[in-house]
Structure formats: structure tokens, C-alpha cells
Structure 1
């Protein structure tokens, strides 16, 4: 009996000491950070006072650590206030060529592009030397909030030195400069080229979006020269190959210039493909006695032999007097309105097509910072009503069909807009 009492006492003593040992270990573990190597260190959140940190117990520290880990997880997933910000969106590139008396016309084109565009524009202006100072003076005089939407570079007219004179006098002065843009702007991937007599009635962004529609072989986009073969020029008069049924018009041209610089183009001069810079001069030498519209004809020949490389966009993106002078024949404009107006043959500056001239003068007279609806749209609609004695004037509603929504967007970007 005595033996059992001693055993029970020993077990009790052992249990008591074991309990003290375990309690001591737990206490030391909770009072240290990262093990039993020194006193506890309080983590003080940024902006918190020392007193608040001193009162933070083990439970609050564990809650704070869970909160930090949750915020870190959200940041890594791209959410929450700690998400990584992406870089600025790349700008859209827009090029134009101006020679002779095209200074004012080019400035009005640029005005329309900047007025409606959403993303930032990089402008590439190719001009004769005597126009450089005038472009700089005019663009620098625009309000600061407008100049913040674009940047510009003015370049000299530049052709291959051995044939410069021949290229410069081809068709209108300097027009063939557009053929050499992929070779001059070597650091630019994609580009919208427009003639100086273009007016944007919709954001450039919507035209730029056609780049995402290119398949793996397409490297340019243009509109057909005409919609109606019975009155089209190329299929009736051309003495050279041309693209499709009615040819293409190069007044508005979207280019993936990286592809243009790398592709070997099929042609009717050699049995092997030629690069862009190898193709142009031989093509001119072969067809220069048979072409009427200069560089546009050369583009038609190139895309005739390489139709898989071209994407056609609807005529509403290149609406010309030919689309209304004999009656309306641009179905996409009739459905959705005119997106880009192309005043070729000088119709902005004579009285042959007063509806086209009315749009040009409305944009020319518009002052940045004023309400675009009352300062541009309302006067334009009033002037267009005076043109209904002409075929194009009868279609004037197509010019303003979507203009109100474009101007509403422009108004939101102005200093007084919301």
C-alpha cells in the first residue's frame, strides 16, 4: 500500500513539473519574434503612433499580418489599391504631306483629327521647307489643353536621291512621298496616312481599330475607288493592273509598316518577290507612260498582284464627291453616316460642291474651347440646308448623322466639359 502511495506521489510531482515546463515554453514562444532570440519587436504600420503600436497585443498582430497578406495577394492579382499600374497607352500615328498652297487645308485636317480623337496622336507632317515655320507657329498657337492631346514632328520632303526629281513631279507635288513613309519612319510600327483634303467626322481611334482586324497576311487597308462599276474610273479607263473591281483610293491609308518593310511582294517584273524599297522604282519605270493618278496607280498595281495583303474598309471612311454627285452610292454612309470626308478635286475651295465646302468652313471657323454643338454643329446644319439644290446637298444628313455624338465626346474633353 505504501508502495502505491509513493508511485502516485512521484507521478503527481512529475505531472506538476511537466506542466510548468510546457507553460514556460509557451510563454517564451509568445514573447519572442521568430524564435527564442531576444525580446518581442512591435511592427508599427506607417502613419500609426508609437502608443497605438505599444498597445497591440498578439491577437491584433496576427490580424494585421492577415490583412497585409490579403492586400498583397490583391496587388499580385491586379486588384485593390496596391495594383501595379500599366504604362501609358501607345499613341496613334497620323501622317500627312503638304506642299504648295496646302498649309491651311492641312491645319484644318489636323484640327478635325485632334478635335475628335480619344487617344493621343503623334503627327508626322511632311512639308516643303518654306512651310515648316508656318506649321510650327500655327500649332504652337493652339490652346495648351489642345496641344496636350498630340505631339508633332515636321519633316522635309525626302525622295531617293538618284530619282528625286522624277518622284517629286509625279502627279501632284510631293504626293508620292506617301510611298516612302515605311522607309523614312523606320521606328514607327503602324500609321494612318491621309491626304491634306481629309476631314475627320469621327475619332481617328475608330479607323485605327482596323489594325486589330488584320489577318496574318494583311499589311494595309484602304477604301475602294468607287462602289458603282458603271461610273468608276479604273475599270473603264485604266491602262494598267488595278485592285479588285474598281481599284482603291489612297487618300486614306492605314499601314502596318513593320510588315510592309519585311514582306516580299509578288510582281510582274521578276519571278521572285521584291521588298518594298526594291519594288517602287522598277514599277515606275515600267508603267510611268500608262499611269494617270501617279502614286495611287502604283499602289493599285502592287495590290493587284498581292490582294491578300490588303483589307478593304467601307466607303464611309473615305467619302468623296463621286459618292453623291450622280446620286447616293455609298451604302455604308447611308446606313451609318459619313466618318471621313475627302474633298478631292479642290471642292473645299470652289462652289462646285457647296455641301463639302460647308463642312470644311465649319471646322475651319470653329474655336477650341467653345461649345462644339452651338459653335460648329448648329451653324453647319444651317449652311447644309442651303445646298439641297445639289445631289451631294440632298445627302447632307449623312455628313452630320453621327457628328453630334462625336462632338459630345469632344466637349467632354474641353476645359468646360464634364
Structure 2
């Protein structure tokens, strides 16, 4: 009925005898505004229903299998960062990602770490073991060695160290059916189990789910799925990917050979090329599950759903967490990093996050997202919802970030 009313109103305007231009513009504006309100309400209703479905479905999920690949750096040229800085950054990012999962989840999260050194895993294991019991019991940590097919070890150095390892996960994890693959530079603002529901939406052909890039794709001259997808967060149905008819690994290796020298982003380029020819294999994930500072780069929010539903995972790609150019994203990362799991509560965490996000505006720190109306609420929405907090509950936050001028100083200011 709403759509019919809008169309009738438009017809009325078109057929109305000529009158003052001002009145016509006013009526046209009313139509546009009414249409926008209706669409907003319909979208809001749709996602309210979706959240109710997710709340009901996740009750039956006991363990969430998350796969993370964390390798030491590969020095490509003299402009690459020092090994010690990149290695420490990798550890810190993975640590905060695990920490955020432990805080936000109501289930048990099994994090499968694919690593090339024992040192990184051992340090992460020590961190998990040092957590208070209520958090420690939510995390299982397992180690796996990096694996590439014989004769294809050179693929390890494409883009960044082990950036192509994710395409071989169906072979490495032959004992698992479904996984969530994520990059190390992620912070969960919402329970990890909530994303698991999207497996229910897969049709018989779909075996991957990820978000669209939401900006101009970096690698030019290669086939893309739509305008490009981002592989920082990927749901994988490994059973389907291992189907002999799919020939997943052979196809990926062929793509490496066929597009040699043009793959600037490693696995992401390969998956885009594959999905350009096989669009039936992917279910597009809502952009809120991979929200990045780059979504704000153009001066507008290229993930408008976040304004309604809030950001579920923030992705610190392009060094957003370690450099000083995207402070809204970095402030979320630093607040989780400095949260004391022993002596503070989630309420303290969220109160501090609210204060720290305001500091970005107060100090006029560089940030793409500072120009986006309502960005703080997008980042606070799910933490407040999960812990059932209102703005009145989080009035007494404190600054916990520390504005060190260099990334290396930030990494030294760690706490549980």
C-alpha cells in the first residue's frame, strides 16, 4: 500500500496543472522525503527480523571455528618496514583480535592459527593462558604449520608473507567442514557466532561469503566480481570447496600462472578473478562484517547499512591500527588493547571507547571517518547492545589510548 501511495502521489504531481514552481518543488521534496523514510523503515524492519533470527539460531552453535594466518614479514624492497616492527605488529593485532573475540562471544571460539614460527604462537598461547578464567574458557588455540603445494612455495611471497595461504585452507583443514577466515587486523564489536548464521543462507552452489570492496579496487586490469570483493573476512564451506568437480586448488594455481605479475593483492585478486567467472559460488556478506576506515575515504559512508545496523567487525587494513592516519579505527583497536581483562568490566571498556572516540574529534586527529555523521554510534552500537548498556550507563569513561607519536611506542603500551 505504501508503494502505491507514493506512485499515486507522483502521478498527481506530474498531471497537476502548471502552478508556481515553488509549490511543485515542495511537493517533489515531500515525495522524495516520504520515499526515503519508507525505504529506511523497510530496511530497518528487515534487519530487525534478521537479528531476531540470528539470536534464535546461534543458541545451537557450540563452537565457532576461526582460522587465522599469521606469518613473519617478507621484505620486498627497501621501503618495507623493519622485520621487528612488522612481526610485533602481527603479534599485537592477533592478540587484540583474540581479546575482542573472548570479550564479545557467549560461546566457545576455536582459533586455528596457521603460523611459520613457534615464537608467535607461543606468545599468543601465553596470552590466552594469562586471561581470567571466564575469558580463557571461551578460547581454544591450535597451531598449524604453513603449507604450500610442492613446487609452489614461491607463492608464499606474493603481496605479503603467506598472503596466498588462505586459498589452500580446504587442504590444510581437511577435518573441518565450515570455517570463518579472518585477517589478523580485526576487532570484533559483536559476538563472532552471529556471523555463523549466514551459512544457513547458502544455496547448494554457494561456498564462500564475503563483503564487497566498497571503494575503487586497487588492482586494475583483472576480472572482478562486481566492483571487487574483500577477502579479509570470509565464510568458507570447506566441504563444497573440496568437491572434486570444483577443482579449487588446481584452478587457483592455474590463475596464478595465467595472471603472473598482475596480482597485487595475492589471494584477494585470485578470488576476484575466480568469482568473476563463477558468481554463483558466493553469497555477498553485509558490509558491516568488514567495516574499514577506507569505507569513509571518499567523504561518504560506502557502507550505509552501518548507519542502521552498526559495525560488527572493524578491519584495520592499510595499516589503520599501526599508523596515524585513521584514528577512529585505531582508537577502537587501542581501547581494546589497553582494556584490563582482570580488573575492568565490559562496561568500563565501552565507556572508555566512547570517550576515546570523542577525543579524535576533540583533538582533530586525522581520520577518514571523522567526516561521517554518526560514526561513533556505528562503532558503539553492538558493544552497547551485547552488554545491554545505555548512554547513561557509560558516562564515566576514561582516556586509555595514549597519543604516542610513533607506532613502535604504541605497541609497547600493552595490558591485559
Q: TM-score, normalised by structure 1?
A: 0.70
Query: Following superposition of structure 1 onto structure 2, how do residues 10-409 of structure 1 map, counting pairs within 5 Å?
Result: 90-100=62-72, 101=87, 102-129=90-117, 130-164=119-153, 166-226=154-214, 231-233=215-217, 238-244=220-226, 246-262=227-243, 264-265=245-246, 275-327=247-299, 328-388=301-361, 389=364, 390-394=367-371, 395-408=375-388
Distance, in Å, in 2 between the alignment partners of 1:329 and 1:242 is 18
Distance, in Å, in 2 between the alignment partners of 1:365 and 1:408 is 22
Confirm or deny: 8 A CA contact 1:176 1:295 kept in the other structure.
Answer: yes
Confirm or deny: 8 A CA contact 2:100 2:187 kept in the other structure.
Answer: yes
5+ long unaligned stretches in structure 1: 1-87, 266-274, 410-418
Confirm or deny: 8 A CA contact 1:372 1:407 kept in the other structure.
Answer: no
Confirm or deny: 8 A CA contact 2:61 2:193 kept in the other structure.
Answer: no
Q: Hey, which bits of structure 1, 4+ residues long, moved more than 4 A?
A: none
Distance, in Å, in 1 between the alignment partners of 2:111 and 2:138 is 11
Distance, in Å, in 2 between the alignment partners of 1:252 and 1:126 is 16
The higher radius of gyration belongs to 1
Task: Tell me how many residue pairs correspond in the alignment.
Answer: 305
Distance, in Å, in 1 between the alignment partners of 2:348 and 2:381 is 17
Distance, in Å, in 2 between the alignment partners of 1:370 and 1:216 is 47
Confirm or deny: 8 A CA contact 1:321 1:392 kept in the other structure.
Answer: yes
Distance, in Å, in 2 between the alignment partners of 1:254 and 1:374 is 30
1:333, distance to aligned residue in structure 2 (A): 0.4
- Please give the root-mean-square deviation of Cα atoms over the aligned residues, in Å: 1.8
Distance, in Å, in 2 between the alignment partners of 1:122 and 1:362 is 24
Alpha-carbon distance change, 134 to 385 in structure 1, aligned in 2, over 3 angstroms: same
Distance, in Å, in 1 between the alignment partners of 2:266 and 2:104 is 31
1:111, distance to aligned residue in structure 2 (A): 1.0
